[in-house]
Structure 1
Amino acid sequence: MTNFAPRIFQLIAVFLFLLTSNSVLGQKVQWMSWEEAAQLATTEENPKKIFIDVYTDWCGWCKKMDKDTFQNEEVAAYMTENFYMVKLDGEGKEPINFKGKTFKFVPSGRRGYHEFAAALLQGRLSYPTVVFLDENLNMLSPVPGYQKPEPFLNIARYFGDNIYLRQDWKTYSGQSR
């Protein structure tokens, strides 16, 4: 009977591990670097669009969106299936190459900003802001502000399902009435 007790603890430990893993609790967003996403988008046989979450370490709403929206099972599953997911620190220090140009960190005030974030956000450094790019790395739209899961999915489907190609946002979202 003495060998039985450790075995039970091992089985309980394995069960708890499986219970907290992605396969049991659901889909998790698979974040990648800009370089990885751009490489996949330009070399894959069936490329996906790119989704970029522009955040900063000090942004409370960014952290809330990570927790509430991006870790939502339905959001994570849809986004993983339809987009290459990138996290971009708006104050990151590493250079980023995009369409033949190198974007760098610019010291400014107490913090500074990354030129790539400024370009993607069209000069409006507001966090969080998410950005959708098509399969050819062309800007579809930046979307500023915290988004709850359901409204976020509505926006993501507009781009991910190519609805933007045949219907304007106001009509799609019911704002044109």
Structure 2
Amino acid sequence: MKINTALLFLLVSAFVFAQETISFEKATFNHILSKAKKENKIIFLDAYAEWCGPCKLMEKNIFPKDEVKQFYNANFINARIDMEKGEGRDIQKKYGVYSYPTYLFLNGDGEVVYKGMGYLEAPDFLQLGSQAKMIGEGGGGKERFEKGETDPEFLLNTAKLNANIDPEFAKKVSERYFQVRKKKAFTQDELAMLFYFLRSENDPNYKVFVNEKPEILNLLPESSYNQFHTQIKLNTIAENAVDKSKKTINEAKFLDDASKLMSVEDAENYLKILKLNAYRSLENWSGYEKAALENYKNGDGFDAKELMTAAFVFAEKISNPTSLKQAVIWTEKALQQGETPDGNYILARLHLKSGNKEAAKKYATQAVKLAKEKGMDASVPEKLLLEIK
């Protein structure tokens, strides 16, 4: 049989050049997980939003590059899912995706192996994939660390690789690094690692911070060192004042200890922030309610995002009518700084919880309208509208 070589070339070329970008799976998330488990491969998930500019630039400029698509197609099962549509909403909640684009590297059980975010040039995007591949294949260092590895270069690199995906493990690695580190001049990498994981005087690396001060000052102004030291002491005071088991804060102890580092007024302001953060973290909602009312009062002088965060917690967790009215005031003050779908949605939730269906419907409708005008997902306020009706 005579072979038409020209036709064959065209067919082969069409096949090769048809794959113009990373090959993304067209399947459900569960199917992708099953495939990854079956093939023992890592999933690269591009978590994006339709309105996201950097997401579009990655799609246009980076994913089609030969070196990028070849590496990602060879090493991962690739998926690209809109976090504001369909099953993407559940994925967004499960993995806490709040910035776009976010790059999730998952194993077949859906566990996060590595993570990145933002617009990346091709070399950085390839490095991200290489690190994810190494960790996914067991190169993240946990097994080697647990066997007692003390090689400084290994420890430094392992701490870097795991800083975002497993900070508790990375912190332990950094502590061993400074235990075995030989006396020498500090490098920028060492200083960055020390400062990144050091939170209080109760941390093992605090001794390094104090004992190696002369070396640290070769890289850092003494004023910056002292400022960071004061913050460490404050963190320690806050840590010692919070009783996690009882979900309470010993305010008198905090103020007594903190006022030795700063003015009483500054200590009181710091305590307000501590109460908001700690009570929310501890899920002590009555404590959070009291702290928010005390801190925000009528909402004047506060950032819109901060006010809406508190108002949203009230919409979700607080039922006292007087407190809900105050949260309405905060949200209205926030919207004066710029109208947003989120602000109107929160207002709708607050009014509905207070029993004012007419106002709730008004703000939910406005939230839907604004979301659609901005090209954002309107399904959440739309769902609330259905509840109101």
**Same-fold status (TM-score > 0.5):** yes
Residues 43 and 126 of structure 1: is their aligned pair in 2 closer, same or farther, counting only changes over 3 Å?
same
Q: Distance in 1 between matches of 2:62 and 2:49?
A: 17
Query: Equivalent residue for 1:88?
Result: 81
Q: Which has the higher contact order (CA 8 A, sep 6+)?
A: 1
Structure 1 residue 157: Cα displacement:
0.2
Pick from 47, 54, 68: which aligns with 2:47?
Answer: 54
Query: Equivalent residue for 1:79?
Result: 72
Give the secondary-structure state (helix, strand or coil) at the position aligned to 1:84.
strand
Q: How high is the TM-score relative to the length of structure 2?
A: 0.32
Identity across matched positions, percent? 24
Query: Equivalent residue for 2:99?
Result: 126
Query: Equivalent residue for 2:158?
Result: 168
Query: Equivalent residue for 2:350?
Result: none
Q: Distance in 2 between matches of 1:68 and 1:22?
A: 21
Letter matched to residue 79 of structure 2: V
1:36-71 C-alpha deviation (Å, 9 max, x unpaired):
321212233xx2101110111111110111122211
Structure with the higher fraction of residues in helix conformation:
2
Residues 134 and 176 of structure 1: is their aligned pair in 2 closer, same or farther, counting only changes over 3 Å?
farther
Residues 169 and 128 of structure 1: is their aligned pair in 2 closer, same or farther, counting only changes over 3 Å?
farther
Q: Distance in 2 between matches of 1:116 and 1:54?
A: 9
Residues 71 and 36 of structure 1: is their aligned pair in 2 closer, same or farther, counting only changes over 3 Å?
farther
Q: Distance in 2 between matches of 1:119 and 1:74?
A: 31
* Structure 1: 5+ residue stretches without partners: 1-10, 95-104, 106-113
Q: Distance in 1 between matches of 2:161 and 2:110?
A: 25
Query: Equivalent residue for 1:39?
Result: 34
- Larger Rg over CA atoms: 2
Query: Equivalent residue for 1:30?
Result: 23
Residues 176 and 64 of structure 1: is their aligned pair in 2 closer, same or farther, counting only changes over 3 Å?
same
1:5-47 C-alpha deviation (Å, 9 max, x unpaired):
xxxxxx79x85x865x451587631111323321212233xx2
Q: Is the 8 A contact 1:56 1:62 kept in 2?
A: yes
Q: Distance in 1 between matches of 2:111 and 2:56?
A: 27
Structure 1 residue 146: Cα displacement:
1.1
Residues 58 and 134 of structure 1: is their aligned pair in 2 closer, same or farther, counting only changes over 3 Å?
same
1:78-105 C-alpha deviation (Å, 9 max, x unpaired):
11111110111110124xxxxxxxxxx7
Structure 1 residue 145: Cα displacement:
0.9
- Alignment of 1:154 with 2:127, yes or no, is yes
Q: Is the 8 A contact 1:49 1:137 kept in 2?
A: no
Q: Distance in 2 between matches of 1:141 and 1:54?
A: 13
Q: Distance in 1 between matches of 2:32 and 2:161?
A: 31
Q: Is the 8 A contact 1:55 1:127 kept in 2?
A: yes
User: Which stretches of structure 1, 4 residues or longer, exceed 4 Å deviation after superposition?
Assistant: 24-27
Give the secondary-structure state (helix, strand or coil) at the position aligned to 2:44.
strand
Residues 65 and 22 of structure 1: is their aligned pair in 2 closer, same or farther, counting only changes over 3 Å?
farther
Report the aligned-residue RMSD.
Answer: 3.0
Query: Equivalent residue for 1:116?
Result: 91
Give the secondary-structure state (helix, strand or coil) at the position aligned to 1:39.
helix
Letter matched to residue 41 of structure 1: A
Q: Distance in 1 between matches of 2:100 and 2:139?
A: 24
Structure 1 residue 76: Cα displacement:
0.8
Residues 149 and 42 of structure 1: is their aligned pair in 2 closer, same or farther, counting only changes over 3 Å?
same
